Chain A
């Protein structure tokens, strides 16, 4: 059983489209995250939810909107996609706020905007 699963694994779409990436964890963790990895492999946190409550909201364009229907799911919706949104997006989860336990990551969604 996959601990943190993301769908889709690959996403190719045109500029201006709206797309969603879904994430689910079956670890019973309270906190979930979205990270963006750019072409230089740099990982930057975007959002974090703890028990469905938004606790971290980094400087991210408001075209990006996370949604957490329950503590096992954290989806990412992106409006009006731009070329610069091309990246690998990782979902992660942790017990508590992750500071002592670290994160468990999904396998990533490679988004390509053309």
Chain B
């Protein structure tokens, strides 16, 4: 069963406005969760990770995510979008059995000039 669900397949925001990419997880415990970014025709880069040390996690390029157990969410945010943020974003969490990490289906972020 899918451990993470990305709620939006595509998000468009104007440059300079806030970004919100949504991810819910399904787990009976506090899992390790990650966000990865993939720019066009590039590999996958780790943006940030949550491993139960602090619920608000800061990542690279001004992104951050908040782990909310009550909502089983791990949404990715950025206060002000930049053109270079246009990419595919993946929420990642452990699968059933906790033996491997499973990727969400991805959210394509488009930045409008």
Contact = CB atoms under 8 A, between A and B. Distances in A.
A102 B92 contact: yes
A105 B99 contact: no
Given A105-B44, A106-B43, A108-B43, A99 B102 contact: no
Nearest to B92: A102
Contacts of B36: 102, 105
B56 interface: no
Given A41-B106, A55-B99, A56-B100, A102 B43 contact: no
B90 interface: yes
Interface stretch (A20-28, A42-50, A74-82): A42-50
Interface residues of B, number: 24
B32 A100 contact: yes
Nearest to A94: B101
Interface string A69-107: 000000000000000000000101000011111111111
A105 B102 CA distance: 14
Contact of B42 (A56, A99, A100, A107): A107
Given A99-B94, A102-B49, A105-B44, A56 B101 contact: no
Contact of B100 (A48, A101, A104): A48
Given A56-B100, A97-B99, A99-B98, A107 B46 contact: no
A58 to B, nearest CB: 9
Interface of B: 32, 34, 36, 38, 42-46, 49, 51, 88, 90, 92, 94, 98-103, 105-106, 108
Interface of A: 35, 41-45, 48, 55-56, 90, 92, 97-108
